[in-house]
Structure 1
Amino acid sequence: MEEDKKMLSESEDYSKELDVAVRAMQMACLLYQKVQDTLVSKSRCNDKVLFKDENSLLTIAEWSVQAIVIWILSQSLGSENISILAKGDVQTLSKTNASELLEAVVKTVNECIAEAPRFGVQEYKSALGTLEVLELLSHCNSVEAPSARFWVLGPIDETSGFVNGDQYAVSLSLIEAGEVVLGVLGCPNYPMRKEWLSYHHSYHRIISMLTPTTSETWNKGCVIYAKKGSGKAWMQPVLHVNKKFVWPNHAKQVSISSIDNPALATFCETVEKANSSHSFTEGLALSVGLSKQPLRARSAMKYVALACGNAEVFMKFGRASYKEKIWDHAAGVIIIQEAGGIVTDVRGDPLDFSKGLYLEGLDRGIVACAGATLHEKIIDAVDASWSSSCL
């Protein structure tokens, strides 16, 4: 009985914070969707998007999302309780040569706040000024953990995917004493049918235009989330134009796959090559019997695929000089764990989120699996073949 009470108490913790974080990610997704649609439209008209245009729009969107997330958290939880580790801090935007950028950010932030009631967040009575937006962003730190309890906002994790209308994710998580206690991933383009995951993103866009998304025909886009101690992970559709958010917004529970046979398991292969070794992970997959066609997924999409049962294995082994940033993993880790999966380094130790921006002390890489059987096989295989990895 006491154990049941303890579990119930733990599952009730962070409920308010999770509710607010999900609404913040819904709002962030809508903003990013609008910017991505603009970039894709320009690309279609001009055959090419100028880097300056795409960089400027993306920069404005990222700063605006950062301010909006802090605004929502502050409105609901009190600004004195908010400290956040994020990509940029207020000093960058306060520079004299950033005045034009700041003006665009303030305009975008106010446009977003005007839509806040759709997300169940009370609209501010008057437009925010430049100083107020800078005050919001002053809660950010881009290098060190601000306090023992802090939020982590992950920027768009795959710029090329975003610009080309493909997959990307934005994340928000809460960390206490070095442990992730809640996490939310916003994935506006995630296809909600497993068979679509391996299709080219242009096909998804065509299907989406032919079959507009509603709560009944939920084809793409989700916010997926979990909190410590609940033993559950949930997914809900992203909010679309003219829709209103009503908690839990058609949420459904997701869970990991029950497959533990490597021959039947699907391995998530990274799209990005710069900071990991494809040849080593592919060889490792074959050595443990992961013979199915791999699922190519961008960054945080791999965590979503595992949590939804669309894949069973994700591995990432960075090159010696590369350090993993905590915002790329924090939300995904707790979602996988609460959905029933396992995420560790190659030693089998939990990831350490207590050291600020980077996952310090990471042993070789990250292994995420749907179950213990697959996890043990991969850990053993890494130990056996690491000397030939060239990492």
Structure 2
Amino acid sequence: MMPLNCSSLVFRVPYILAQTRLTNTKKLTSTSCVGSCFTTHSYQNKSFHIVSQFNQNYSSSPVMEDQTNLLSSPRPENYSKELIVAVRVVQMACSLCQKVQDSLISKTNSPVHSKDDNSPVTVADWSVQATVSWILSESFGCRNVSILAEGDVQRLSVADASGLLDAVVKLVNDCLAEATYFGLKGPDSPLGSSDVLEAISRCNSTGGPTGKFWALDPVDGTLGFVRGDQYAVALALIEDGEVVLGVLGCPNYPMKKEWLSYHHRYHRIISKLTPPTSESWDKGCVIYARKGSGEAWMQPLHHKNKLLAWPNSAIPVRVSLIDNPALATFCEPVDKSNSSHSFTAGLAHSVGLRKQPLRVYSMVKYAAIARGDAEIFMKFARTGYKEKIGDHAAGVIIIQEAGGVVTDAGGSPLDFSKGIFLEGLDRGIIVCAGAKLHEKIIRAIDDSWNSSNL
């Protein structure tokens, strides 16, 4: 494994107004970190944990301690360690997904269209889930980590799934072998099938109004993924029913707005003709935010075979200042199976929206509004469809901290305390760049709803 560059351990975090120092521990053993659920070996001098296990109260890491009091709020340090780990592991997950998607796109006749078989998107789902679970458990101790995700480990445990499991294990190990590039500690030896199944099995949270759990959507936007288009890796931390941090990895969503008019497959052609430079297309980004910070940040997708120097050229993002519907751009889902395009089209016309809708797969729509590429996202599910919290949690906190507003169509906040689904949702979900625009949309919905056939 590649030796660690100790200078990379100094976290220069843009949202923490403090300096940090490193503590060189002479010897870290598997018993020195409370809550670890994996067997680990001793780490001798000069081998540092970039993110160490914390005790059950998430006390200071043995590697990094705050040197001064933080100034931006009474408890600004809340969730900062969790956010750092979350961003890094989402960067890892995006790298994993890129490899799978690149392999999938090269097979032009691939029949993959869903997650219901041993398809590449299924492999990506399981592999991201196992990788994120392993990293979070190693970083904070498995007794402190609860994860809500869709995957059921039983599907991988049956005899006829051995080929799928082998593919997942290989992909997970390939990803974890690169953990040091992302500032994280990987395993000392490759994981076996039982280790991977164990990591996935810990993703069994059902959410609820109390306690702390992570909500993970490994590959949000299945159709976008298999078609070589937009998709997202979404990870959020929810405590006592409130989203406290969120990370959205958007591997095909370019850093620069001027590239949005080009399909990202154009980048595949250009990148083969000219070497990438700082002035060229930055393919992919990761956007993240922490509750109460009043800030959302975006950093480019990490390049292969380089150490991720935190915070990886992060820049702040804010929602658009446009509050005139005639000038606004609105997003809606590409897939018509669980949303009504006819109602959103009629509603858009009634409030004066004149621009063509930005139809984007997955939670990338939240990223688009958070960084000012669009102003409105409206989703009205068809009868019987239930929204899952993992499809919205990370995007909601990012929008809110970037200055936007997210509610249901009745103007009430989304409720993440009811379990796996967004129960009690009033008609649909409305995301706006600002309060004035949001008020106009809500009024228009009330005026239009009774005349619709939904």
Task: Look up the equivalent residue of 2:266 and give its one-letter code.
Answer: Y
Task: Look up the equivalent residue of 2:91 and give its one-letter code.
Answer: Q
Instruction: Report whether the alignment pairs 1:17 with 2:82.
Output: yes
Identity of paired residues, percent? 67
Aligned pairs for 1:1-391 (under 5 A) are: 8-43=73-108, 48-51=109-112, 55-141=118-204, 145=208, 148-391=211-454
CA separation of 1:163 and 1:125: change in aligned 2, threshold 3 A: same
State the 1:102 CA deviation.
1.6
Take 1:128 and 1:37, find their aligned partners in 2: how far apart are those partners? 24
State the 1:179 CA deviation.
0.6
Task: Look up the equivalent residue of 2:257 and give its one-letter code.
Answer: K
Take 1:191 and 1:197, find their aligned partners in 2: how far apart are those partners? 7
* Contact kept in structure 1, 2:289 and 2:397, CA below 8 Å: yes
State the 1:196 CA deviation.
3.1
Task: Look up the equivalent residue of 2:189 and give its one-letter code.
Answer: S
Runs (5+) with no aligned partner, structure 1: none
Task: Look up the equivalent residue of 1:179 and give its one-letter code.
Answer: E
* Contact kept in structure 2, 1:234 and 1:252, CA below 8 Å: yes
Task: Look up the equivalent residue of 1:288 and give its one-letter code.
Answer: V
Q: Does 160-169 or 305-314 show the bigger shift?
A: 160-169
| 1:287-318 Cα deviation digits (max 9, x unpaired) | 11111232222221110110001111111010
CA separation of 1:108 and 1:147: change in aligned 2, threshold 3 A: farther
Runs (5+) with no aligned partner, structure 2: 1-69
State the 1:217 CA deviation.
3.5
Q: Does 85-94 or 248-257 show the bigger shift?
A: 85-94
Under a length normalisation based on structure 1, what TM-score does the superposition of the two structures give? 0.93
| 1:22-64 Cα deviation digits (max 9, x unpaired) | 0110000000000111111121xxxx11339995222122111
Q: Does 106-115 or 166-175 show the bigger shift?
A: 106-115
Task: Look up the equivalent residue of 2:370 and give its one-letter code.
Answer: A
* Contact kept in structure 2, 1:346 and 1:363, CA below 8 Å: yes
Q: SS of the residue aligned with 1:99? A: helix
Q: SS of the residue aligned with 1:50? A: coil
Q: Return the structure number with greater helix share.
A: 1
Q: Does 175-184 or 70-79 show the bigger shift?
A: 70-79
Q: Does 85-94 or 280-289 show the bigger shift?
A: 85-94
Take 1:6 and 1:177, find their aligned partners in 2: how far apart are those partners? 25
Q: SS of the residue aligned with 1:8? A: coil
State the 1:145 CA deviation.
4.8
What do you get for the CA RMSD once the two structures are aligned? 2.1
State the 1:107 CA deviation.
1.8
State the 1:341 CA deviation.
0.2
State the 1:160 CA deviation.
1.9
Give the number of the structure with larger relative contact order, counting CA–CA contacts within 8 Å between residues 6 or more apart. 1
Take 1:214 and 1:124, find their aligned partners in 2: how far apart are those partners? 33
State the 1:7 CA deviation.
5.4
* Contact kept in structure 2, 1:191 and 1:204, CA below 8 Å: no
* Contact kept in structure 1, 2:221 and 2:230, CA below 8 Å: yes
| 1:40-99 Cα deviation digits (max 9, x unpaired) | 1121xxxx1133999522212211111110111112111111110101132222222222
Q: Does 144-153 or 302-311 show the bigger shift?
A: 144-153
Q: Does 371-380 or 290-299 show the bigger shift?
A: 290-299
Task: Look up the equivalent residue of 2:134 and give its one-letter code.
Answer: W
Task: Look up the equivalent residue of 2:288 and give its one-letter code.
Answer: Y
